[in-house]
Structure 1
Amino acid sequence: MDHRVTENFAAKSMGDMLSAPAGIVPDLDQTALLLDIDGTLLELAPTPRDVVVPPKLGLVLQTLHDRLDGALALVSGRSLTDIDVIFAPLQFPAVGGHGAEMRLSVESEAVASCAPPMDNDLKRRFIAISHLSPGILYEDKGYSVALHYRLAPQFERTIYEAVSAIRADLPQAPIEVLPGKFVCEIKPAGFTKATGVRELMNHAPFSGRNPIFIGDDVTDESVFAIMPAFRGVSFSVGRRAHGVNGQFKAPKDVRAWLTHLLDEEAMAAQ
């Protein structure tokens, strides 16, 4: 495959995509960029609040957002409020809460999907699990809750056994468990990052464009799976996930590639 992708991904065989995507430069007039945050754009941190946004990343994302006529979105398990705090004062289109909420453009209001907030009594059961160790951090995302154990990895099995016990005690509760990197997330069934991305791709400025999705975790696999339906491609970070067209080694390589897209545009304009 040519290192400069200047035609629709649909015109290329998925098998032709490079396993190492660093040299791929898509036609930005036809592309939508969909980017996970933690473990993809940013290195993972001991707690969600400890993530560090490199100084130049905001400018790169803003410039790409403008160059794509707004077709750049952050796709995250974080809430939209949390996403905005991380990248303040910048805001971007986003799918937050694993598809529970969405903002189609910087100018539009954030909207919630049909996903109901998690029941408070159920939340209290999961809060109790965090009391097993000071190293287990409970995070309430509104539409879901997360138990972070990067500071107490020895409790992984205990956490999942406790979550399984709650599910067994409440077999009718419509909840899903999302295993992640040193995190166990619990959310109501019925929505995922993929349902959020599907909705996003039905609206301008994303509709009709070929999406590139980059993610790193198990929760991103639902989006990897639907990219071919939108004549798009996907890349994983840190591991070769099932159904992707290639992988980046680490978030710094993703950031370098995003910068490379702008550099190539500048060179082509000369």
Structure 2
Amino acid sequence: MTVNTDPEIRHFRTLFISDVHLGSKAAKADFLLDFLRTHEAETIFLVGDIVDGWRLKRSWYWPQDCNDVVQKLLRKARKGTRIVYIPGNHDEFLRGFPGTHFGGIEVAERMIHETADGKKYLVLHGDEFDVVVRNARLVAYLGDWAYDMAININILLAAIRRRLGMPYWSFSAWAKLQVKQAVNFIGEFQKVVAEEARRNDVDGVICGHIHHAVMEDIDGIHYVNTGDWVESCTAIVEHHDGRFELISWGHRIGAASKKVATLALPRPFPAAVEPAEAQDIQAA
């Protein structure tokens, strides 16, 4: 059951969401739906990997909450919200339709976004700067399968640790971070994406792809990564004064869900869904 920790609707100038992976069993579609119900924006950027075409090709999985997220976005578009869909590598089937509108949602390869205070940001998914995705598609598919396995292990460990009264620990996040650190992937990715922003003569860049939510300055470029809705449940919002904020929705729902479960059950509830730790969440 989704628990709404803040029923008051918040209004923003712009909202950025990426890496939802609808069609994957790991997708936190119910968390995202709850978030969309309480957050409104004049413009919403869907920064890639919203639908997970890779997994859907392997086996079809599309529960009702995936439909609910899509319907919620279409409803926002009908009510006047501008929604821009920038495809990623998992939903690359949409890359053949730049400039096309689907139910009021426009598709674009990348876009320059100007904030309320006049700064310009390059908005893209970021997979074109991932050497593995660009040059070794088979390796990318194998890595995607391995991540699925890590998520399944994570669900099992979360249930065991909860029953033992131990705090949540994300095996999948740990495993991913260990590999990425070994090859300096995250740091190199951020530098390359920041350099692309510099070549486009903009103040910053907003991307997704690596599921690592962060906002930081890299050699004078404001680098913003939206994170994901598989583990961390994070989004970037732009306030009406141009200020950016990184919101971790998983923590707010998770805290409320634990409280409800504790009251309702005589023993700890072995929830399969837990938010990732907030150590990577920063605010600008």
Which band: TM-score by shorter chain?
A: 0.3 to 0.5
TM-score of the two chains, using structure 1 as the length reference: 0.37
TM-score of the two chains, using structure 2 as the length reference: 0.36
